[in-house]
Amino acid sequence: MMVPDDVSAGEIDGGRELGVYVHFPFCSVLCPYCDFAVDTRAEIPHDAYADAVIAELAVRAGWFRPARGGPAPRLVSIYFGGGTPGLWRVDALGRVLEAARQHLAGEVAVTAGGQDGDLEITVEANPGELDDARLAALRAAGVNRLSLGIQSFDDRLLRAIGRNHDAAAGGRAVRAARAAGFDNLSLDLMFGLPGQSMDDWRRSLAAAIALEPEHVSAYSLTIERGTVFGGRVRAGTLHLPEADASAEMQIVGREALRAAGYAQYEVSSHARPGRRAIHNGLTWSGGAYLGLGASAASFRPLDDGSAWRFTNARATATYLRAVADGAPPTHTERRASADLENEAVWLALRTSEGIDRAAHARRFGVDPLDGGPGRAAAAAKCAARGWLRITDARIAPTPAGLLFADEMASRLWV
């Protein structure tokens, strides 16, 4: 696989943290709301897909080599997402994990894994698709964090959104994961579902909290055009809670989780102390990440303030052919420093900590309020609405502001 000269140009901004994302596209079923790159073929090519990811990794690891004489990036996260990587045969997944350690060892500082604060290795999985043997094998392979797609603890709602597990499977999966030695679990929950009442949502929250996970991701159902649900909304056959009701569910969720000891640190993310998702934090902070597999994206920040972003083919078959043929990424884009400054404002305002003004100025050469015409005035209006806190040190959303993160972004992202 040849590395395009333009993508390999420029020295990576050394000393940064680095994440690796591995996309496993295969799923048992296609959920009607899902817009991710998924493949529901009957037979999963476990080894062929692992071989392709490892071949891609062998070429692209060198893209994250530090500047001459500069500090190496530090690998802090390997995240297997999808799709449903919990379906990947564990020995094949383990080969990819070991290859990541080996290939990156020459380019970056690889943190030892297995303990709190060390290299975070996450696998997404669904309840009902994990047994004791698979969980034990994942833990033995070095996986130390599971993200479980529970979505709801209501059988009626699970059927409505096309999930292939029942409500009881969520609790069974958590208990089995604990028995296998996992001490870092994240549960996904969804609100704004068709036919979902506030009482339904409160019951799911209570059930999740009772299982005592370290992390909860609470997402509002988003309707995408190319999905089954998107077609049903256009046809008028899918009825969702009103926007105000969905916003109230978000508030109820935040307060219930806060009372149980979980802090909201991003629009959809809630964690116990010390258990924030490391990998997602790289995305929100403009950190470097290497994406492997079908549809995976990478971000390579450079020491001149610009960055490369490159994305693999979305279709599994196209990706596998591209790797076999030594083809470059499907899409490659050079991002100027001014573009990244704009993105940094948008992403940071989705987090509770917001923007460190001094750090932003060091990175982009401009205070965040001076980064675009009209931004200071727009920020002042958001502050007057109670959405932003503006101090000499930080610009951060208030709890109310996190409910309007997208609207704030549209006002400040110039």
* CATH code, domain with 344: 1.10.10.920
pLDDT at 66: 72
Total tally of structural domains belonging to the chain: 2
Residue 329 lies in a domain: no
Are 223 and 354 in a shared domain?
no
Are 184 and 84 in a shared domain?
yes
Residue 311 lies in a domain: no
Three-class secondary structure of residue 270 per DSSP? strand
Please name which of 151, 149, 104, 45 lies closest in space to residue 290, comparing C-alpha atoms: 104
Model confidence at 393, pLDDT cuts 50, 70, 90, reads: very high
Are 99 and 175 in a shared domain?
yes
- For 263-336, strand residue ranges (E) read 263-266, 269-271, 288-292, 297-301, 307-311, 331-335
Are 270 and 197 in a shared domain?
yes
pLDDT at 397: 96
Residue 38, pLDDT > 70, answer yes
Are 396 and 247 in a shared domain?
no
**Cα angle 370, 374, 378; round to 5:** 100
- Strands of the 355-356 sheet, one edge to the other: 355-356, 394-397, 388-390
Q: What is the mean pLDDT of residues 132-136?
A: 97
Are 256 and 394 in a shared domain?
no
Model confidence at 3, pLDDT cuts 50, 70, 90, reads: very low
Are 276 and 376 in a shared domain?
no
Domain hosting 128: range is 5-283
Quick one: angle between helices 405-412 and 375-384, nearest 10? 150
**Residue located via tokens 């806060």:** 258
Residue 213 lies in a domain: yes
Q: What is the mean pLDDT of residues 50-76?
A: 84
Residue 252 lies in a domain: yes
Residues of the chain with pLDDT > 90, as a percent, come to: 76
Question: Using CA atoms, how far apart are residues 160 and 117, in angstroms rounded to an integer?
Answer: 39
Last residue of a domain, one of 283, 304, 329: 283
Residue 405 lies in a domain: yes
Are 361 and 252 in a shared domain?
no
Q: What is the mean pLDDT of residues 134-138?
A: 97
Q: Which helix (H) or strand (E) holds 108?
A: none
Question: Using CA atoms, how far apart are residues 309 and 329, in angstroms rounded to an integer?
Answer: 10
pLDDT at 327: 78
pLDDT at 304: 82
Residue 289 lies in a domain: no
Q: What is the mean pLDDT of residues 377-382?
A: 94
Are 135 and 243 in a shared domain?
yes
CATH for 83: 3.80.30.20
Model confidence at 84, pLDDT cuts 50, 70, 90, reads: very high
Pairing of strands 288-292, 17-24: parallel
Q: What is the mean pLDDT of residues 179-197?
A: 97
pLDDT higher at 108 or 369: 369
Q: What is the mean pLDDT of residues 322-343?
A: 88
Are 250 and 399 in a shared domain?
no
Are 32 and 181 in a shared domain?
yes
Residue 375, pLDDT > 80, answer yes
Residue 324 lies in a domain: no
Residue 28 lies in a domain: yes
Are 192 and 123 in a shared domain?
yes
Neighbour-count burial of 395, counting CB atoms closer than 10 A to its CB (0-12 exposed, 13-18 middle, 19+ buried):
buried
Which pLDDT tens digit goes with each residue over 166-179?
A: 999 999 999 999 99
pLDDT at 13: 63
